[in-house]
Amino acid sequence: MAYIPKILAFAGSTRKESFNKKLVKIAADAARAAGAQVTYLDLRDIPMPLYDGDLEAEQGLPENAKKFKAMLLAHDGLLISAPEYNSSISGVLKNSIDWASRPPGENPFTGKAGTLMSASPGAFGGLRGLIVVRAILSHMGVIVLPTQVAVPKAHEAFGPDGKLKDPKQQASIEALGRDLAGVLVKLKG
């Protein structure tokens, strides 16, 4: 039986009409078309309290942190669309990573392959935040693929169908999903 890559796709945003949710769904569809099994996760559906070592010591991991961690463990690859907040990572994405990496020595990120993308109304498309996300994930043991895409002027970039208006941008995001599926086949297949 041939290996089927399992990919978890999510955005580091909880906003209902998030540009980054739209973006990661494009990459997820392309990964599916390339033969991967893709699970889309909306972090809004698994809210977690702000990481607090005292809370962890008293109550252990919150249920939603356990769910997120289990999802990470069940997948080989990560498609992450990470919004840029003040030239850095969004609080919800960082908090999710922090909870999932607890307790020490139980890191569900180790050995995963991941691809990064971002969409922002700004001129850089979230590129500065991707530098921070890449550094964190690399430290956590994720093999972060070198190709990443940042979509500037995101408020103008998407059509009513959720696709990018610019065919070249659409193709570059689709390539991220296909490429991750292909790399996982080479690494794990």
Contacts of 56 (CB under 8 A, 6+ apart): 102, 103
Q: Please state, rounded to an integer, the average pLDDT across all residues of the chain.
A: 96
Task: Name the residue ranges covered by the structural domains of the chain.
Answer: 6-188
Q: Where residue 110 falls among pLDDT bands split at 50, 70, 90?
A: very high
> In the predicted model, is pLDDT for residue 2 greater than 90?
no
Q: Where residue 188 falls among pLDDT bands split at 50, 70, 90?
A: confident
Identify the pLDDT of residue 104. Answer: 85
Identify the pLDDT of residue 189. Answer: 76
Q: What is the pLDDT of residues 118-167, one digit of tens each?
A: 999 999 999 999 999 999 999 999 999 999 999 999 999 999 999 999 99
Kindly report the CATH class assigned to 6-188: alpha beta
Distances (CA, A) of 160 to 26, 81, 119, 163: 14, 19, 16, 7
Distance in angstroms (rounded) separating the CA atoms of residues 61 and 96: 11
Note the pTM of the prediction, 2 decimals: 0.96
Distance in angstroms (rounded) separating the CA atoms of residues 29 and 159: 16
